[in-house]
Amino acid sequence: MNLTHWKLERDADGIAWATLDVADSTTNTLGFAVMTELGQLLDELDRQPPTALVIRSGKAAGFIAGANIEEFTAIDSAAAARVLVERGWNLFNRLAAVAYPTLALVRGHCMGGGFELALACRYRIAVDEPGTRMALPEVMLGIYPAWGGMLRLPQLIGPAAALDLMLTGKGVDARKAKRLGLADEAVPARVMDNAARMLVLSGREPHRLPFMQKLMNGPLSGIVASKARQQVATKARPEHYPAPYAIIDIWANHGGNALVVPASSPSSLEAIFRSPTAKNLIRVFFLQERMKGFGKGSDFEPKRVHVVGAGVMGGDIATECALRGMIVTLQDQSVERIAPAIARAGKRIERKFRGKPREARFALDRLIPDPAGAGVAQADLIIEAIFENLDAKRALFADIERRARPEAVLASNTSSLRIADIATALTDPSRLVGIHFFNPVAVLPLVEVVKSAVSADEPFRKAAAFVRKLDKLPLPVQDEPGFLVNAVLGPYMYEALRCVDEGIAPETIDAALVAYGMPMGPVELMDTVGLDIAVAAGKTLAGADAVLPKALADRVAAGQLGKKSGQGFYAWVDGRAKKAAAGAPPAGLAERIAAPLLAAARRCVEKGVVEDADLADAGVIFGTGFPPFTGGPLNLSRAGAAG
């Protein structure tokens, strides 16, 4: 048997060890050739049955990343999609039916089709280290796990937990996999092979569901499905995101088998393939991968970071750095000003390391209050996150430059000022770049990395590498007012407020834009950001000829600044906006309010703020939450023009 991607070995106990090591790739994926060879491997084991079979990875990068996405995107018809699904479904059913015990030894990422392969084995061992993650993320690409995941995962851990994983695409680590019953064992890497050998030869009964969970998979499945649909409906509309509704339907009504769903059903392979959502979400996936690549141009490994400004933004930036193993000094005018940031950091770190008090303590210890700014002298990277005042920022950087190491990266988190204007205070202005985070820092993945006309290439590359160290997406942007994200948000939010001036209720406006696909309405977003900030940056970000909406001006004059003051367009109680019922929106309201955003995105491309329209789409999606199912504002504009 001549295999290119698999290696089959038998040991003295008669165990067959099948190692997947996809040729000419750093990552294991289940492409056509790999799946064909898996079939050949099973043929060989049929001829000479082993005592047991262990499937493992030969890659340092992980177990299996899933199906080959390049091959998937080349599919040009629903019939071809059906062939792809049928091949995986039949092959994994064959693996699940073999007479000898089988085990998946999972170290590192185990995603999508790779997870479905593991589910087809009798046993699973997860290696307990940070890189191990199990997930079915297909829903995030607008598709569903059709190689057996919708059948086997509910049977293994119960429908509630299984649907939670399938409908969100979220992953679990080794310890949680063990708690859920996904993994039979979670073991250290040093004993993984011995643990696999012992378990696969143990004769242990596979994990069984309690009686009530079996009922929920059977006679009570309709109740579970109804509740799941209600939960999904609070987050996604079926016309925007059909895949989660299809997952529920296929599990509840078709035994988890997508191949038997009638072509006329909205859950069918044909319907999902025809939907533009999958095409657009796969486009967004590739755009995300492109942004991840921007951090690869430098081997910069910042060990010490100094953050100036312990407000919400600066404090949260410092916290994210500490969570990623960096020693962070946090500067403000006094310890009392820094204390709230440390308190917030404690809560964030506790949530992140729940059940791991030792790791939590170490992370908090890495965050050091530094009112005197002593950390500047040792820092590899210094980030300024003070209030938006050009003179104050210039004075601060003039002082920092005198005390910082020559090779340290100097960065501003400004949202509306030009980096080149701030850099005039420096003896060497080429050192300064922008690293612009978005609030809330812990949630939003995008970070704009700003290069001015005077910025040198090396600090710019280092800044992008730093952003990737935080597991965020660096977007290179040029030094124009508002960069990309705020340049498109300003006109969008101002148009919403003009509608308020015309007498349309804020609740109606917000409801219309949420129905459009935005994660939050523009009025609530402005309340969250702060109405005073909107006024300060408004003319810069909304255009020189912008007139301040009266509803905004009146509230700021009255000291109603939004969430932080407890009153803006909404009253805020316990961090939540109190809203009246939304009325029926005027026809075309959402499209009217979104139109300035689409126009601003086009202008940013024309002005060279971002390299191309694809990056503009990516930046607006990941920076504003613009509906991913559209593929981005410019992609939406092109689709509308074509239609």
Q: Which residues are catalytic?
A: 415, 436, 448, 486
Burial class of residue 117 (count of CB atoms within 10 Å of its CB; 0-12, 13-18, 19+): buried
What letter would DSSP give residue 580?
P
For 131, the 3-state DSSP assignment is coil
One-letter amino acid for residue 506 of the chain: P
Q: Please state whether 111 falls in left (phi above 0), alpha (psi between -120 and 50) or beta.
A: beta
For 440, the 3-state DSSP assignment is coil
Reported residue count of the chain is 643
What letter would DSSP give residue 30?
B
- In the block, residue with structure tokens 């020189």: 544
**573-603 per-residue burial string, b: 16 or more CB within 10 A, e: under 16:** eeeebebeebeebeeebbebbbbbbbebbee
Strands annotated E in 361-451: 367-369, 381-384, 409-412, 432-436, 446-451
- In the block, residue with structure tokens 């920022």: 393
One-letter amino acid for residue 510 of the chain: D
Burial class of residue 296 (count of CB atoms within 10 Å of its CB; 0-12, 13-18, 19+): exposed
Angstrom distance (rounded) from CA 491 to CA 479: 19
- In the block, residue with structure tokens 């799946």: 35
Burial class of residue 83 (count of CB atoms within 10 Å of its CB; 0-12, 13-18, 19+): exposed
On whether the CB atoms of residues 15 and 51 are closer than 8 A, the answer is yes
Which helix or strand (DSSP H or E) is residue 10 part of? strand 6-10
Nearest Cα to 601, choosing from 629, 637, 630?
637
Contacts of residue 96, defined as CB under 8 A and 6 or more positions apart, other chains included, come to 120, 121, 148, 152
Inter-CA distances, 183 with 104, 132, 214, Å: 9, 12, 19
Angstrom distance (rounded) from CA 63 to CA 21: 9
Angstrom distance (rounded) from CA 404 to CA 89: 59
Angstrom distance (rounded) from CA 228 to CA 167: 9
For 6, the 3-state DSSP assignment is strand
- In the block, residue with structure tokens 């906006």: 577
The alpha carbon of 53 is separated from its chain's Cα centroid by a whole number of angstroms, namely 35
Torsion angle, alpha carbons of 436, 440, 446, 452, to 10: -10
Structure tokens that stand for 36 in this block: 């064909």
Contacts of residue 453, defined as CB under 8 A and 6 or more positions apart, other chains included, come to 420, 479
